[in-house]
Amino acid sequence: MTQQPLLLLDVDGPLNPYAAPKRRPEGYDTHRLRPAWWVAKQEHLAAVQARQTMRARHAKPPAARVKPLRVWLNPSHGEELLALPYELVWATGWMGEANTHIGPHIGLPELPYIRWSDLFGENPDGLHWKTRDVVAWAAGRPFVWVDDELGPQDLEWIGANHPGPALALWVDPRTGLRDLHFEALREWAEDE
């Protein structure tokens, strides 16, 4: 039996069109979430700001005071993703928290996720911070990586360093996943 190709899913951009010009895109629900990575990031930003303004007593707000992250999710996306001939994997900075904060809102079961070697790190080659880990995690298996931060250097690096078929599918963070993306995903799987 042949393995299905991997579908590596980013959250912010493809599933959460955070840059949408409207208040909330049609068909999406608003969720106020407080994942641990968001709380840590806000605490860090508050500490940096406090050091810059010399207000050390306000350096780290308690987690309960961290404003939740607004996330827009389309409840139909889970069913559409599950209908595709892929093995779904989270490829997001949310890592395992996507299973508790994102998946249940769109009807996805618990999925495996990529643990990043350097979360949000800088890459001296200009690659996206996920690119090397994505290729390593796929381990030669065919994959489609859906993300809103892909550039030409990532496509070139994947082509030169991944021995199997791969597609990096850019999604506009203003619109999120659309019918054209689902069609492209179906077509690519049929061709593999």
What pLDDT was estimated at residue 122?
A: 72
- What residues of the chain score a pLDDT lower than 50? none
Residue 37 has what DSSP assignment? H
Neighbours of 142 (CB within 10 A): 19
Inter-helix orientation angle 152-161/131-138, to 10°: 30
Model pLDDT for residues 97-152, shown as the tens digit of each residue = 999 999 999 999 999 999 998 766 677 778 898 999 999 999 999 999 999 999 99
Amino acid at 43: E
What element of type H or E holds 131?
A: helix 131-138
Sketch out the chain's domains with CATH numbers.
6-20+73-191 (3.40.50)
pTM across the whole model: 0.88
Confirm if 133 and 114 have CB atoms less than 8 A apart.
yes
